């Protein structure tokens, strides 16, 4: 157990809510809780009590004490579930810091859980991935990683590597001992097995990384094209002001659209046109900036007023973006005939007023974004994991360059060591001690 100071932080989101949870972790946690509630707290028992400091009661709620090491962080931990008012929460945080706690840094509870060996790095990352999951598939995959499935697959490969390294290093370090690589074929087979397991893991990590992606869509077009109406219709509430006065929308207005559990951020913007209005100009600049970082720009057109051509779209998006573009022909409810697509961009007809085309719009959107709502993958992987898995693959592949011979053992040993290091970086494990233990456990050291 790493001895550290006592940290405190609200565990619930800021703002007003029915309940908020404040969490203390570290050696002073129970001491601080006792001062505030004036009661003896028993581990894992919910105790009703107040937060009273200097005879003044700030809140009443439920106190729960988790004794070390049976807590999330492994340290002495206390949680207080109180009323969810920002002033109440701030007052409790201030009092606990007066009593010796320190405000926690972001992720510090999980970091302590990792440092105290309660979870490995992939599990710590999975906690954050679960919270930020943008689809049900991502939730499932993050839960698998949280259960330690990803680390288990990595550790299985590491175990195989350690066995091979033990054989090789023993031969290098104790050449006088009669330890030989008995069967080079078996050794090559073991290497091949590691290689294929690593390849499988890399493939599922690539799939898993896709789940970590979320998409951002920006609605642009001329004023009055129906951008804000579309946003409101998708959100089923009037988030953006809709009028028939051009230039109504100025600021960016966002909404997280859920399609089969997949979250897609849709941003309404100011209509793009020349204007002398300073505020509207700023709104247009924001729209242009949003286009650059978006995954898809949707150009909305009221076809009754404009023939849609590549030129008109280029005028709107200018040289501002390489982001893919799609076209939405709006107000289909008051159009005479179906729109003909004279452009090279994909086009869909919709009506924000009647909802026509909006169901199709959702699947069209997923297709244009190359997203799927049902991605079955065992793990939710991050770029960091892919980077280290790819590195591990490079090292294990490098062992292929050497013919298995006594002269090549040093080189193979080094490649295997680097492979293991790359994998251990993923789980955050410290490996050299493990390796020493493994090597000498097969020897009589007293000799």
Ligand X SMILES: Nc1nc2c(ncn2[C@@H]2O[C@H](COP(=O)(O)OP(=O)(O)O)[C@@H](O)[C@H]2O)c(=O)[nH]1
| 357 scored as a contact of ligand X (CB under 6 A) | no
Residue among 358 and 390 whose Cβ is closer to ligand X: 358
Answer yes or no whether residue 248 interacts with ligand X by CB under 6 A: yes
Number of other residues whose CB lies within 10 A of the CB of residue 180: 11
Q: How far is the CB of 341 from ligand X (least distance, A)?
A: 19
Contact between 250 and ligand X (CB under 6 A)?
A: no
E-assigned strand segments in 34-183 = 47-53, 56-66, 77-84, 102-103
User: Closest CB to ligand X among 82 and 271?
Assistant: 271
Contact between 223 and ligand X per CB under 6 A: yes
Pick the closer one to ligand X by CB: 186 or 359: 359
- Helix, strand, or coil here: 356? coil
Nearer to ligand X (CB atom), residue 73 or residue 229: 229
Q: Which does 433 bind (CB under 5 to 8 A by kind): ligand X, Mg ion, none?
A: none
Q: Does 330 bind ligand X (CB under 6 A)?
A: yes
d(CA 379, CA 143): 8
Q: For residues 226-285, which are near Mg ion according to CB under 5 A?
A: 227-228, 249
Which neighbouring-strand residues pair with 84? Answer: 17
351 binds ligand X, rule: CB under 6 A: yes
Q: Give Cβ neighbours of residue 116 (< 8 Å, ≥ 6 apart).
A: 1, 2, 69, 73, 74, 75
Q: How many residues bind ligand X (CB under 6 A)?
A: 21
**Of Mg ion, ligand X, none, which one sits near residue 225, judging by CB under 5 to 8 A according to partner kind?**
ligand X
| Closer CB to Mg ion, 272 or 423, in the complex | 272
CA 132, CA 134: separation in Å to the nearest integer? 6
Pairing of strands 47-53, 17-25: unpaired
Q: What is the DSSP letter of 40?
A: P
Q: For ligand X, which residue of 352, 371, 381, 439 counts as binding (CB under 6 A)?
A: 352
Side-chain-side CA neighbours of 331 within 13 Å: the count stands at 15
Residue 183 to residue 202: CA distance in whole angstroms: 29
Give min distance, CB of 317 to ligand X, in A: 15
Kindly indicate which of the ranges 100-108, 190-198, 237-245, 412-420 contains the residues binding ligand X, using the contact rule CB under 6 A. Answer: 237-245
Dihedral sign from CA coordinates of 81, 84, 87, 93: positive
Answer for the pair 238, 268: CB distance below 8 angstroms, yes or no. Answer: no
- Distance, in Å, from the CA atom of 132 to the CA atom of 240, rounded to the nearest integer, reads 26
Closest CB 248 distance from ligand X, rounded Å: 5
By CB under 6 A, residue 329 contacts ligand X: no
225 binds ligand X (CB under 6 A): yes
Residue 290 interface partner, choices ligand X, Mg ion, none, CB cut-off 5-8 Å depending on type: none
For ligand X, give the closer residue by CB, 84 or 226: 226
# residues near Mg ion by CB under 5 A? 3
Within 10 angstroms of residue 153's Cβ, the number of other Cβ atoms is 20
Q: Which residues have C-beta within 8 Å of that of residue 130, sequence separation ≥ 6?
A: 139, 142, 143, 146
**At closest approach, how far in Å is the CB of 268 from Mg ion?**
6
Residue 56 near ligand X by CB under 6 A: no
CA distance 211 to 217: 17
Binding residues for ligand X, rule: CB under 6 A, are 221, 223-229, 242-244, 248-249, 271, 330-331, 333-334, 351-353
Residues that bind Mg ion (CB under 5 A): 227-228, 249
């Amino acid at each position: 157990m790493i001895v550290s100071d006592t940290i405190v932080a609200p565990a619930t989101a800021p703002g007003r809510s029915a309940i908020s949870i404040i969490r203390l972790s570290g050696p002073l946690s129970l001491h601080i809780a006792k001062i505030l509630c004036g009661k003896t707290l028993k581990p894992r028992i919910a105790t009703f009590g107040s937060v009273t400091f200097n005879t003044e009661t700030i809140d009443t709620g439920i106190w729960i004490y988790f004794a070390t090491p049976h807590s999330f962080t492994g340290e002495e931990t206390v949680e207080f579930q109180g009323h969810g008012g920002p002033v109440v929460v701030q007052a409790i945080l201030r009092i606990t810091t007066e009593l010796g706690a320190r405000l926690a840094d972001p992720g510090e509870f999980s970091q302590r859980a990792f440092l105290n060996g309660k979870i490995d790095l992939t599990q710590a990352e999975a906690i954050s991935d679960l919270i930020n999951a943008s689809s049900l598939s991502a939730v499932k995959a993050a839960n698998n990683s949280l259960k330690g499935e990803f680390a288990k697959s990595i550790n299985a490969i590491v175990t195989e590597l350690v066995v091979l390294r033990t054989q090789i290093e023993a031969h290098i370090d104790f050449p006088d001992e009669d330890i030989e690589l008995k069967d080079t074929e078996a050794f090559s087979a073991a290497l091949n097995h590691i290689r294929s397991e690593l390849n499988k893991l890399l493939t599922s990590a690539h799939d898993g990384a896709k789940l970590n992606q979320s998409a951002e869509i920006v609605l642009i077009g001329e004023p009055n094209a129906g951008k804000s109406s579309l946003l409101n219709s998708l959100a089923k509430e009037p988030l953006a002001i809709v009028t028939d006065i051009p230039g109504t929308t100025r600021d960016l207005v966002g909404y997280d659209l859920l399609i089969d559990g997949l979250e897609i951020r849709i941003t309404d913007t100011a209509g793009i046109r020349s204007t002398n209005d300073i505020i509207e100009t700023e709104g247009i600049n924001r729209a242009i900036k949003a286009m650059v970082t978006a995954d898809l720009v949707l150009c909305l057109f009221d076809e009754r007023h404009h023939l849609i051509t590549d030129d008109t779209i280029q005028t709107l998006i200018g040289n501002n973006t390489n982001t893919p573009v799609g076209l939405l022909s709006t107000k289909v409810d008051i159009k005479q005939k179906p729109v003909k697509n004279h452009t090279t961009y994909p086009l869909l007809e919709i009506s924000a007023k009647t909802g026509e085309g909006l169901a199709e719009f959702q699947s069209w959107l997923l297709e244009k974004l190359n997203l799927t709502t049902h991605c079955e993958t065992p793990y939710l992987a991050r770029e960091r994991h892919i980077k280290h898995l790819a590195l591990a693959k490079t090292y294990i592949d490098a062992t292929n360059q050497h013919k298995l011979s006594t002269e090549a053992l040093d080189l193979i040993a080094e490649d295997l060591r680097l492979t293991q290091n790359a994998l251990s970086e993923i789980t955050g494990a410290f490996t050299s001690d493990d390796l020493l233990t493994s090597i000498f456990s097969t020897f009589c050291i007293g000799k």
